[in-house]
Amino acid sequence: MGNTGILPVWSSTASSLPRFQRAGCPCDRQPGWLCYVTVLRTLVPAPDRAGADDMFFDRFRIEPGPSFFELHFGFYGQARDARSGLIVVVARKVIGEAKQSILDYLQQLGAMPEPIELLPCNLPAETRAVPADVVGVARHGTVAEIIFHTFSWRTAVERARAKKEEQLKAICTALLRCDFELQKRWILALYENETDDSNP
């Protein structure tokens, strides 16, 4: 059986509505604000994944910055240098909003891996970088998945001003597969970096 954890939580049925896990948000009480949480409530995955980056990775590196995280993914296999790679740039706010959902998912996976020194993930300078506004995680057996979606803030603002209640389509920018244990290590490293970098 597969486990999923995503913000918002999308079921495996493409036509179903997203289910938002948090009840309410302080921004809801601030007139004039288009809240990130409010936007997430209207998102639905677009069925067309044309242009999305799909890859398997066996190494990763996380570069936290003041406003964004650079998430580096590389596939090395038996080679010395990366055979393929991708960088996903995610706002710090997105990582923070997804924290509870993803850590809840992690808790369902059983024992945590023993600490080890991970192999370096040094990607070429010309490696493609893509944005993301929503991050999700899932697994099926020993195969794990990390998926990223993005949406247009301009479209979200225009719909809010026009008071349209149409769903906002989230476009898949990257679908990444890896070993189940590596996904655990990625989640632990992601929130270790998020916590460490947020402390003065």
Q: pLDDT of 106-145, one tens digit each?
A: 988 888 888 888 899 999 999 999 999 889 899 888 899 9
pLDDT above 60 (res 39): no
pLDDT digit string, tens, across residues 134-151: 898 998 888 999 999 888
Does 23 score more than 90 pLDDT? no
Give per-residue pLDDT as tens, 48-93: 544 567 899 999 999 999 999 999 999 999 999 999 999 999 999 9
Q: State the residue for tokens 């476009």.
A: 171
pTM for the whole thing? 0.72
- Go through the chain and tell me how many residues it has: 200
- At residue 101, what is the residue type? S
Query: Residues 136-189: pLDDT tens digits?
Result: 899 888 899 999 988 877 776 776 677 666 677 778 889 999 999 999 999 999
Give the 3-state secondary structure of residue 13: coil
- Cα dihedral 54/184/71/6 (nearest 10): 70
Identify the DSSP state of 12. S
Q: How many CB atoms lie within 10 A of CB 69?
A: 22
Residue 34 clears pLDDT 50, i.e. is over it? no
Alpha-carbon distance of 140 to 13, in angstroms, equals: 16
Q: For the chain, how many helices (H) and strands (E)?
A: 4, 10
pLDDT of residue 70: 97
Inter-residue contact 156 to 126 (CB < 8 Å)? no
